[in-house]
Amino acid sequence: MPFSKVSGRNNAHKVVVYALSTCVWCKMTKQFLKDNNVEFEYIDVDLCEEKEKARIREELQSRSGGLSYPTTIVDDKIVIVGFKKDKLKEALGI
């Protein structure tokens, strides 16, 4: 399953959200980004194929040290675990 893209006027940063389709905090993160017109990509890991999950595991663990959702990565360097409005605002300058 590829990443889904949500377009937005606020596209200065590369924003990637690792999420679960069942997780309310992941939904809130996506909604928060939409409400702020932020362009982002997301992937619902629970709906991915096994091979894809394994790849995501490597990616998430090496970047955040854990496997928690949502994990938002801004510009390939700022890692935000959980739905944290303040951290998201700060990283995105909104």
Partner 1 sequence: MTEITIETVLKRAEADARTYGYYLNPDPELLQGLLEGLKVNEERYGYPSCPCRLASGKFEHDRDIICPCDYRDPDVAEFGACYCRLYVSKEVFEGKKEPPTVPERRPLEKQSRAYLATSELKAETVEMQKVLTGKDTAKVVEPKPKLWYCKQCGYVVFRDEPPYICPICKAKREMFAEIKTLIEFVV
Q: What are residue 91's phi and psi, to 5 degrees?
A: -65, -35
Distances (CA, A) of 73 to 47, 50, 69: 20, 22, 12
> Which one of 23, 32, 34, 41 is in contact with partner 1 (CB under 8 A)?
23
Shortest Å distance, C-beta 29 to partner 1: 12
Contacts of 59 (CB under 8 A, 6+ apart): none
22 near partner 1, judged by CB under 8 A = yes
Please say which residue, 38 or 80, places its beta carbon nearer to partner 1.
Answer: 80
Site string for partner 1, 25-54 (x = CB under 8 A): xxxx----------------xx---xx-xx
Q: In this structure, are residues 19 and 59 in contact, taking their beta carbons and an 8 Å threshold?
A: no
> Which one of 1, 37, 66, 75 is in contact with partner 1 (CB under 8 A)?
66
